[in-house]
Amino acid sequence: MKFLKWNHSIGRQISIAFVMPLILLTLVFLGVLYQTTMGIVNDHVITQFEERLKLNMTNLVNNVPEELVVAALHDQTKYQELLTKLNEFTKQNEGLQNAYVISKTNGKDVILALSNDDMYLAELPFTEEQNRTLEQNAQTVSEIYSDDWGIHKSLFAPYVKANSVVGIDMDASFVHNVKQYILILSIVFLVASIIVGGVIAFVVGKRLSRPIIALVSQTKRVAEGDLTTSMTNDRHDELGQLADSFEEMRRNLSGIINSLHQDSRVLETSSATLQLALTELSAGSQQVVTAISAEAQAADERSNHLETVTTMVHNVTDSVGMVDKQVSDMAVLSETAQSLSKQGNDQVQQIATQMNAIQTYGAETSAKLRQLDQRTKEISNVIGIIRTIASQINMLSLNATIEAARAGENGKGFAVVAQEIQKLANQTNDSVASIIESVQVINDETGTVIESNAKSSEEIEKGVALIMENGRLFEKIQTSVSSLASGVTNIVEHTEGIARSAASTLSAVQEVTAISIESAASQQEISATSQQQNSSIQQLDQMSAQIQAMAQELAILIKQFKVQS
């Protein structure tokens, strides 16, 4: 049953491919040889044998006259004479087995006389050749046949008047033996050819299949990921070249796997460092978002306070108008004005304090934005390292694909791994491109925020200066109102100064209010940008985690291969 599975072994295929044509050629040769030999025997040997039979028959007929045969049917003495002639004729002719006369008498087929035997008038049915001899009155030759007396070829001649047939049997065993010998020799030659061809085919098949079996075993080990076993080869034919090419492919694959293993370690370390840096950056960005949100709320409060100041300045202006119109009531209203100026001075001091706090928050925001800018630069450096590693992985995967293509069918398994590595490298490049784009957006927005924050700081400093100036003006107002008690004659002059100062104050307060509103809007934009930056950093963190996961998957794939360190 194992041999029937000939397509499972190249040795059996070679043996069958060698033996089958040999058997067919041997059969054709033996068939031609057998037919040729049989033709020679039939055309020459048997023909000469028949000529000898005819010659003996002529001599027998000349020695045994037909009258003697007729007389022997009824006379025992003539029978003895006929039998004597038949015996003498048989002895005189070498190779002649029997000479006999058979007759038809009284409706029966009988033996009239048989050499070397006494079977007078014993019943014996005529054969087909013997009947045809009497019917056609002609000699008839039989085929070679065997009976109780041996292997013969017979010739029959008619005695028409005696209604008898004379026949002679010659030994034809040598012809039968020649045919048997030719047949046996052909069979022996066929069997010998099959045996010799089978042995040669088996030896050749074993010699050819042994290195192929070793190559198949080595291929299975490589397919299972074992690249540590080298393959020895002492052949110089095509099989030896195939084994050398396979060993070269194994060494190249081992080198590629080692390089990939080292690069995967570097990639995993770099991705871990990047993720740690992004985690720290995310925490810092969250702090910046919190601080800027608080600053935005403080800006809204400042805007509300400045609106209150504006309202109060309007009230002061109205009061100054009333003072100007109601000089007569100045004495009564001076105390009220003094109280209001004191309140205005206190509120101006509060505004100055809040503006100083705004300036402090602005300085902290600038410091945090500069720290954020430094972090984004560090991210850019790490991304550059990752991009370089991804390019190296892509180049290594391309080399692996080329080596697998050189290996043909044997390198298909590794070609799949090389394609997966190339896909991973392409995904890494895509992720790095996305990270670079996000980091660039963060850099641009950070620069915009820093510039806006610088402008906001400048405007806040101006607002502080104006508030301080406003405080000094309120001190003058309080001094002037206190001086009202000393004399009414200076009221008009002081009222005009107060009106001018109130107008300047109103203009300055309105300018500060506009600046504060603009600062609040800038702080809102900074807050929104910071939140967007924080979202981008979280996306970077997720991408970094994906890169680390891909690096770990690459390391797992590479660990499936066993290579020499």
- pLDDT tens, residue by residue, 151-172: 778 889 998 888 889 988 887 7
Domain end residue (candidates: 168, 197, 226): 197
Given 165, 197, 229, which residue is the final one in a domain? 197
423 within some domain: no
Residues 193 and 281 in one domain: no
329, 457: one domain: yes
CATH number of the domain where residue 124 is located? 3.30.450.20
For 466-489, the pLDDT digits (tens) are 767 766 776 776 676 677 656 656
Question: How far, in Å, CA of 306 to CA of 308, rounded?
Answer: 5
In a domain, 260, yes or no: no
Exposure string (b/e) for 57-69, b if CB count within 10 Å is 16 or more? beebeeebeeebb
Say if residue 484 is in the same domain as residue 345: yes
Contact 457, 361 (CB under 8 A): no
Q: How many domains does the chain have?
A: 2
Q: Which of these three, 162, 197, 232, is where a domain ends?
A: 197
Length of the chain equals 565
Which residue type, as a one-letter code, is found at position 487?
Answer: G
Note whether residue 418 is domain-resident.
Answer: no
- Please indicate, yes or no, whether the overall pTM of this predicted structure exceeds 0.95: no
| 288 and 158 together in one domain | no
How far is the C-alpha of 438 from the C-alpha of 298, rounded, in Å? 30
E strand or H helix at 102: strand 96-105
- Do 192 and 276 belong together in one domain? no
Q: Give a yes or no: residue 180 inside a domain.
A: yes
How many angstroms separate the CA atoms of 283 and 507, rounded? 43
Whether 533 is covered by a domain: the verdict is: yes
| Co-location of 50 and 182 in the same domain | yes
Cβ burial, residue 137 (10 Å; 0-12/13-18/19+): exposed
Q: Provide the residue range defining the domain that includes 350.
A: 266-391+433-557
Question: What pLDDT does residue 1 have?
Answer: 46
What phi and psi, each to the nearest 5 degrees, are found at residue 145?
A: -145, 165
Domain membership flag for residue 350: yes
Please tell me whether residues 385 and 524 are part of one structural domain: yes
Q: Quote the pLDDT of residue 292.
A: 63
SS (H, E, C) 64-98: CCHHHHHHHCCCHHHHHHHHHHHHHHHHHCCCEEE
Rg (CA), the chain: 66
Q: Is residue 507 part of a domain?
A: yes
pLDDT of residue 391: 80
Give average pLDDT by consecutive 10-residue segment, the chain, 565 residues. 54 70 81 76 74 86 87 87 88 82 87 84 86 88 76 85 87 74 82 82 74 78 78 73 80 79 76 74 70 69 68 67 65 68 73 74 75 76 77 79 78 74 78 76 75 75 73 71 64 66 68 69 71 75 76 73 65
Residue 227 corresponds to which tokens in the numbers above?
């690249």
User: Tokens 């019917």 — which residue?
Assistant: 135
Residue 45 DSSP symbol: I
Considering the domain architecture, whether residues 182 and 296 belong to the same structural domain is answered as no
Same domain, yes or no, for 329 and 191? no
Is 203 inside any structural domain?
Answer: no
Query: What pLDDT sits at residue 6?
Result: 52
Same domain, 151 and 272: no
Q: Are residues 174 and 273 in the same domain?
A: no
Query: Tell me, what amino acid is at 447?
Result: G
- The verdict on 271 and 182 lying in the same domain is no
